[in-house]
Structure 1
Amino acid sequence: MNTSKFAVAGATGRLGRHVVDVLTERGHPVVPMSRATGVDIITGAGLAEALTGVDVIVDVASWHASEQEAATEFFRTATRNLHEAGDRAGVGLIAAVSIIGADKATAGFVAAQQVHEAAHLSGPLPARLLRAAQFHELVGQLLDWQQGDVAHIPDLPTQLVACRTVAETLVDLATEPDGARPGTPVPEVAGPRRESMAEAARLLGARRGIEVVAVDGSGMPDAEIAAAGGFLPGPHAKLAGPGFREWLDAQS
């Protein structure tokens, strides 16, 4: 069994916790990297020490807000630091998560992923990318942001995916002997079926006592692209894990 040593950037985040769990369950030594563990991938504090003896970096660090310029700067700086420190430490590979539709986006957080992907692919370390659909937890965030008994949620198509499913797929990508062949599509992972964001929010809202009103998404970044299915998985995507209703039932 190959027990490569992994470092996980963003290890205490929503996805990072699952990545650490999957790697640990598969018998790999794991170095969790986050500010909570004394590693800051923006300033570089603690990064060289954390990467000592590491074979593979998994980058699931993310910015906490949707503003494009700030998110872009975060991804540019963090990715550069991970590559440069990893190269000095003798790391052999970096695997990172992005978002399905990042290549089509023109604004907002999803568009910032274009810089994230480009920085990984142009860095000194060999890089493997995985584009994931939006996580199930996004639905709760949309309700939280509106802070009231009525929430207006865009009635846009989505294919929400479980974080655990993304973590398993990303670890598979990071541990397989050969990466994607040149010219093949960036791997994608999404949930098992197409859903409406408003309908998913309605299911969660019913449990929270929140009325959900479906709207057309006007004013959201790239709403027209989303309405046309631009952020849905392509034909080569892996479809796995629970749908939103099944995931929600499992939470309670």
Structure 2
Amino acid sequence: MKVAIAGGTGLTGRHVGEVLGAAGHEVVVLARGRGVDLLTGAGLDAALEGVEVTVDVSNVTSMKREVAVGFFERAGRNLMAAAGRAGVRHHVALSIVGIDRVRTGYYQGKLRQEEIVRGGGVPWSVLRATQFHEFAGQLLERLPGPVAFVPRMRVQPIAVREVAEALVALAVGEPQGMAGDLAGPRVESLVDMARRVVAAGRARRRPVLPLWVPGPMGSGGLLPTGPGPRGVQTFDEWLAEGGAEGPGRDQGRGRALRSR
């Protein structure tokens, strides 16, 4: 099967491509470096020729609402329109658990992406997943100063590889609409995760102090609320295997998902 990956050069996209390739599928990467611009639509029609399934793991790093909504609006509309013209039979998009409860900033952009997928005219599946194991380290990288103030919140982190495997399982099957929420094996404190990343020497050594955040984000709003598939690799296992040394490492390879 010929499968196109939007955002295929990113952390998640690279894993999705590896899983698809290992299963014998033909992979097309949709990225600027491959001559495709999701924001303008340039190169999309040519790249999607003969493609049966599209997987969207494209991303924007800004937490600002207007930037995130603008990106997912333009990229989503261009991708869905091109997929329709190409006769794509199944579109799969990666989203985030809890964005309908934590409706701020970046999450508004992901909600807009889901709306576009639902109304795009191509049979679809959306997989909402929790934060990746990399989340705490990425947050520390963005925090300046001698002290890192990390939001006091609970997350249920999952290995990127396990997310990629779940996306591929959806992609090769029939469209499901909203799939069950995918989460890691256990709930963690984001503050404790950040402290463990620092203690392991994977981030700049400095004190990590909790920062109270109001509303749903601080009260478990990003945790799954119902049954669904759960990953196997814990945050501590990922950290011990060197997962925080940088993006793109192959952690969680070959691990099965288990359902709660």
| TM > 0.5 fold call | yes
Structure 1 segment 82-121 matched on structure 2, within 5 A: 82-121=79-118
Structure 1 segment 166-185 matched on structure 2, within 5 A: 166-177=163-174, 179-180=176-177
Is the contact made by 1:202 and 1:211 (CA closer than 8 Å) also made in structure 2?
A: no
Name the SS of the counterpart of 1:11 in structure 2: coil
Report the Cα offset of residue 178 of structure 1: 5.1
Name the SS of the counterpart of 2:70 in structure 1: helix
Q: Does 1:37 align with 2:34?
A: yes
Structure 1 residues 100-157: Cα deviation after superposition (integer angstroms, max 9, x where no partner):
0011122111122111101100111111100010111121111111234421111211
CA distance in 2, matches of 1:100, 1:11: 21
Name the SS of the counterpart of 1:45 in structure 2: coil
Percent identity over paired residues: 41
Q: Kindly tell me: are residues 224 and 216 of structure 1, through their superposed partners in 2, closer, same or farther at Cα, counting changes over 3 Å?
A: farther
Q: TM-score, length-normalised on structure 1?
A: 0.91
CA distance in 2, matches of 1:241, 1:22: 17
CA distance in 2, matches of 1:224, 1:53: 46
Q: Does 1:217 align with 2:208?
A: no
CA distance in 2, matches of 1:163, 1:74: 22
Structure 1 residues 155-206: Cα deviation after superposition (integer angstroms, max 9, x where no partner):
21100111111111111111123525xxxx6421111000000000000011
Query: Aligned residue for 1:27?
Result: 24
Structure 1 segment 1-252 matched on structure 2, within 5 A: 4-177=1-174, 179-180=176-177, 186-206=179-199, 207=201, 208-218=203-213, 223-251=214-242
Q: Kindly tell me: are residues 209 and 177 of structure 1, through their superposed partners in 2, closer, same or farther at Cα, counting changes over 3 Å?
A: closer
Name the SS of the counterpart of 2:28 in structure 1: strand
Please give the root-mean-square deviation of Cα atoms over the aligned residues, in Å: 1.5
Q: How many residues align?
A: 241
Unaligned runs of at least 5 residues, structure 1: none
Is the contact made by 1:42 and 1:81 (CA closer than 8 Å) also made in structure 2?
A: yes
CA distance in 2, matches of 1:89, 1:177: 18
Is the contact made by 1:9 and 1:57 (CA closer than 8 Å) also made in structure 2?
A: yes
Report the Cα offset of residue 83 of structure 1: 1.1
Name the SS of the counterpart of 1:211 in structure 2: coil
Q: TM-score, length-normalised on structure 2?
A: 0.88
Unaligned runs of at least 5 residues, structure 2: 246-260
Report the Cα offset of residue 224 of structure 1: 2.1
CA distance in 2, matches of 1:168, 1:142: 25
CA distance in 2, matches of 1:64, 1:78: 14
